[in-house]
Amino acid sequence: MPSSDVRDRVRLLGREGLTVMPLVIVAVVVAYAVTLRLTPTPADRDGAPTGATL
């Protein structure tokens, strides 16, 4: 990769990118946790729910 590409990518990240990145990580983790909570647990053959609950 040419060095100009690296400089362009760093310039695009900038201070705003470093500020926004933690918010993106938190949003992804929260979305994953909500998805886990809203996803119904599969039932076994007897009809009883299986799997761990949060």
CA–CA separation, 24 and 21 (whole Å): 5
Distances from the Cα of 17 to the Cα of 9, 10, 40, 45, 48, angstroms:
11, 10, 36, 49, 47
The pLDDT score that the predictor gives to residue 12 is 60
Confidence (pTM): 0.49
Q: How far is CA 46 from the centre of its chain?
A: 34
Read off the pLDDT of residues 1-54 as tens digits, 9 standing for 90 and up. 555 676 666 666 666 666 778 888 999 999 999 999 998 877 767 766 666 555
Supply the Cα-derived Rg of the chain in whole angstroms.
21
